[in-house]
Amino acid sequence: MRTLYVYLDFELLKPMKKFYYSICLSLITITAVAQMDAKLKVKLDQQVKELEPRMIEWRRYFHEHPELSNREVETGELIANQLKAMGLEVKYPVAKTGVVAILKGGKPGPVVALRADMDALPVTERNSLPFASKERVLFNGQETGVMHACGHDGHMAILLAVAEILSKNKSELKGTVKFIFQPAEEGAPASDGTSGAELMVKEGVLENPKVDAIFGLHIQSLVPSGKIAYRSGGLMASVDGVDIKVKGLGAHGATPWDSVDPITISGQIINGLQTIVSRQSELTKGAVVITVGSMHAGIRRNIIPEEALLEGTIRAFDDDMQRKVHADIIRTATKIAESAGAKAEVDIQIMYPATVNDLKLTLQMAPSLERAVGTENVMITLPVTMAEDFSFFQKKVPGFFFFLGAYPADMQLPKPPTHHTADFMIDEKAFASGVKAFLHLTLDYLNAPKK
Ligand code: NI
């Protein structure tokens, strides 16, 4: 089944979507999809509209007061207070600076979790927005600005709005909603230890009550505002780090025959690593990326050094391929070094697994997205080689993660507003679509007839 769906999914284009559904539906049994009635939809749309100014206020507050990973203390307090004021059961702090709130519906039913990440980045904001960040911190011994340069300020504002609207419509809920505000998605300093989604899972955020499904979104600054993009299977890549220390023998640059040159060997290793991608990975199953982003060796042109250090990043979309790439890297690096009389020590740091959307859940919930924002605003996306620690939740329970376009077309920016840069910018008008998407996903999931 898995192989079949991966094949179909790669062939999938928007016009083929209906066809795709019908094939997959005939092959697997999925939970019937509930559909909220028209009257409720009109009421919710109206409530989203009324709450929009407040949601934008929240976002601007978060934007002006960004905090780095695991340092989201004021952010967490503000979120916890807002959720308490909505009458929710709130736990803070969770997993260092996170917030978890529970909303019990009027009737019994399953448990849905909705997740927003909270942290900002060490980036100095470059624009003239009245709510631009002026925060400054010392990061890795360097003074820098702090900025919500990935849209997490929007994620938090959207999820607060969803919490507010769902708590007003408690009687419509057959089940429970768990709101998860997660710190440290961007990766905390190593000295903090396990953090972010991984720590939340370890601390039992998906238990008591046990979560049946989890939904999450990420703003995309380059996708047209208000559009939603998703795919089943691998949406975002796994990410791992790799350090390769090549140990050779130093010599005078004029007599290389006296050396075991770690620089030349490093060059061969770098090329060898690329053949893992092009010759040894079954790329029709999913993409693989190996990038060597830094190389340190030597101090002077005529001294062959003793050692070289390569640092790289590895991306994949499938657990088996990820494991195979790791083994391939270790074998390739150590054998190439050995063939030249050197030694390579390979250290792979496992970071985030791939963000894989559960097939059954994706099929079940995609129609809800279309009803929330209109079929014309929902599209299928290609996989993205960035990573997301939402994947740790998906390792435990079926999860569905999607992108919310927020390209600020009417700002006529001189440069594309790329994530993690000083020029990052998003369109706040897109947030309403994110709220509607979460509302429809939650209500449709909770109200789906029992299997
Ligand atoms: Ni992000």
Q: How far is the CA of 66 from the centre of ligand 1 (A)?
A: 13
Over residues 417-440, the pLDDT tens digits come to 999 999 999 999 999 999 999 999
CA distance linking residue 62 with residue 132, whole number of Å: 10
Return the number of other C-beta atoms located less than 10 Å from residue 77's C-beta.
14
- Residue 159 has a pLDDT of 98
User: Cα-flanking dihedrals φ and ψ of residue 190, to 5°?
Assistant: -55, -35
Q: How far is the CA of 219 from the centre of ligand 1 (A)?
A: 8
Q: Kindly name the residue from 352, 388, 407, 445 that is annotated as catalytic.
A: 352
Q: How far is the CA of 39 from the centre of ligand 1 (A)?
A: 35
The two tokens of residue 382 are: 């290609």
Q: How far is the CA of 154 from the centre of ligand 1 (A)?
A: 10
- Residue 33 has a pLDDT of 60
Q: How far is the CA of 384 from the centre of ligand 1 (A)?
A: 13
Coil vs helix vs strand at 94: strand
E strand or H helix that includes residue 292: strand 288-297
Q: Do 10-235+354-447 and 238-352 have matching folds?
A: no
- Residue 98 has a pLDDT of 98
Concerning whether 7 is annotated as a catalytic residue, the answer is no
What are the residue boundaries of the structural domains of the chain, listed by start?
A: 10-235+354-447, 238-352
Q: Kindly name the residue from 72, 185, 388, 428 that is annotated as catalytic.
A: 428
Q: How far is the CA of 121 from the centre of ligand 1 (A)?
A: 9
Give the number of C-alpha atoms closer than 13 A to the C-alpha of residue 322, restricted to the C-beta side: 22
Q: How far is the CA of 221 from the centre of ligand 1 (A)?
A: 11
Over residues 382-406, the pLDDT tens digits come to 999 999 999 999 999 999 999 999 9
Are 323 and 304 a contacting pair, CB within 8 Å? no
Concerning whether 428 is annotated as a catalytic residue, the answer is yes
The bridge status of strand 98-104 relative to strand 107-117 is unpaired
Would you place residue 253 in the very low, low, confident or very high pLDDT band (cuts 50, 70, 90)? very high
- Residue 19 has a pLDDT of 37
Coil vs helix vs strand at 215: strand
With b for 16 or more beta-carbon neighbours within 10 A and e for fewer, the 134-163 pattern comes to ebeeeeeeeebbbbbbbbbbbbbbbbbbbb
- Residue 21 has a pLDDT of 40
Length of the chain: 451
Would you place residue 10 in the very low, low, confident or very high pLDDT band (cuts 50, 70, 90)? very low
Mean pLDDT of the chain: 92
CA distances 6 to 9, 19, 235, 285, 361, Å, are 5, 15, 12, 7, 15
Would you place residue 5 in the very low, low, confident or very high pLDDT band (cuts 50, 70, 90)? very low
Coil vs helix vs strand at 211: coil
Question: What's the topology of domain 10-235+354-447?
Answer: Aminopeptidase (3.40.630)
Q: Name which of 244, 444, 207 is nearest 343 in CA terms.
A: 244
The bridge status of strand 378-380 relative to strand 228-230 is parallel
- Portion of the chain with pLDDT greater than 90, in percent: 88
Q: 238-352 domain in CATH 3.40.50.970?
A: no
- Residue 312 has a pLDDT of 98
Q: Which residue has the tokens 């097939």?
A: 359
Alpha helices in 340-449 (DSSP H): 359-373, 391-394, 431-447
The two tokens of residue 228 are: 């939603």
Q: How far is the CA of 44 from the centre of ligand 1 (A)?
A: 27
Q: How far is the CA of 398 from the centre of ligand 1 (A)?
A: 21
CA distance linking residue 63 with residue 46, whole number of Å: 26
Would you place residue 415 in the very low, low, confident or very high pLDDT band (cuts 50, 70, 90)? confident
Are 173 and 443 a contacting pair, CB within 8 Å? yes
- Residue 174 has a pLDDT of 95
Q: How far is the CA of 12 from the centre of ligand 1 (A)?
A: 26
Are 135 and 144 a contacting pair, CB within 8 Å? no
From start to end of 205-258, where are the E strands?
213-224, 228-230, 233-236, 238-247, 251-252
With b for 16 or more beta-carbon neighbours within 10 A and e for fewer, the 30-64 pattern comes to bbebbebeeeebebbeebbeebbeebbebbbbbbb
Would you place residue 370 in the very low, low, confident or very high pLDDT band (cuts 50, 70, 90)? very high
From start to end of 322-398, where are the E strands?
343-352, 355-357, 378-380
Over residues 14-59, the pLDDT tens digits come to 333 433 343 344 444 455 566 788 899 999 999 999 999 999 999 9
- Residue 451 has a pLDDT of 60
Over residues 114-160, the pLDDT tens digits come to 999 999 999 999 999 999 999 999 999 999 999 999 999 999 999 99
With b for 16 or more beta-carbon neighbours within 10 A and e for fewer, the 89-128 pattern comes to ebebebbbbbbbbbbbbeeebbbbbbbbbbbbbbbebeee
- Residue 387 has a pLDDT of 96
Name the more confident of 29 and 74.
74
The bridge status of strand 238-247 relative to strand 307-316 is antiparallel
Q: How far is the CA of 240 from the centre of ligand 1 (A)?
A: 17
Over residues 298-356, the pLDDT tens digits come to 999 999 999 999 999 999 999 999 999 999 999 999 999 999 999 999 999 999 999 99
Coil vs helix vs strand at 149: coil
- Residue 448 has a pLDDT of 87
Q: How far is the CA of 175 from the centre of ligand 1 (A)?
A: 29
CA distance linking residue 383 with residue 21, whole number of Å: 19
CA distance linking residue 381 with residue 223, whole number of Å: 10
- Portion of the chain with pLDDT greater than 70, in percent: 92
What's the whole-model pTM score? 0.90
